[in-house]
Amino acid sequence: DVKVTQSSRYLVKRTGEKVFLECVQDMDHENMFWYRQDPGLGLRLIYFSYDVKMKEKGDIPEGYSVSREKKERFSLILESASTNQTSMYLCASRFGTGRNSPLHFGNGTRLTVT
């Protein structure tokens, strides 16, 4: 079974802090994604990476950056956390370039910014 592991289940940070959310997958997947989930809005794509050191902006990249130095790890960085970034963050991965590949999600990190 594919395992996607997010480093923290719950995080509480202060406004202005730099926040790192880590995600690791163990299936040698090329593609990795960061989504945020908010009630009534579904899952919105923040950033994705189609291979090591490659990244593209999703639909809501403002206030976020990412890093993918190794194939198995994809980090989401909040440069200066704000209260409107309080949300559930979900990491996902999948095989290759095929649009048909399903996503495998981690358990999520619930971030609260105070």
Query: What residues line the site for another protein (CB under 8 A)?
Result: 31, 33, 35, 40-45, 48, 50, 56, 58-59, 90, 97, 99-100, 102-108
**Separation of alpha carbons 38 and 25, rounded Å:** 24
Query: Of the two residues 19 and 106, which places its CB atom closer to another protein in the complex?
Result: 106
> Two tokens at 51?
């291979």
Could you give the 3-state DSSP secondary structure of residue 46? strand
Instruction: Please state the closest distance from residue 95 (CB atom) to another protein, in A.
Output: 12
Nearer CB in complex with another protein: 5/67: 5
The structure tokens 């009534």 sit at: 40
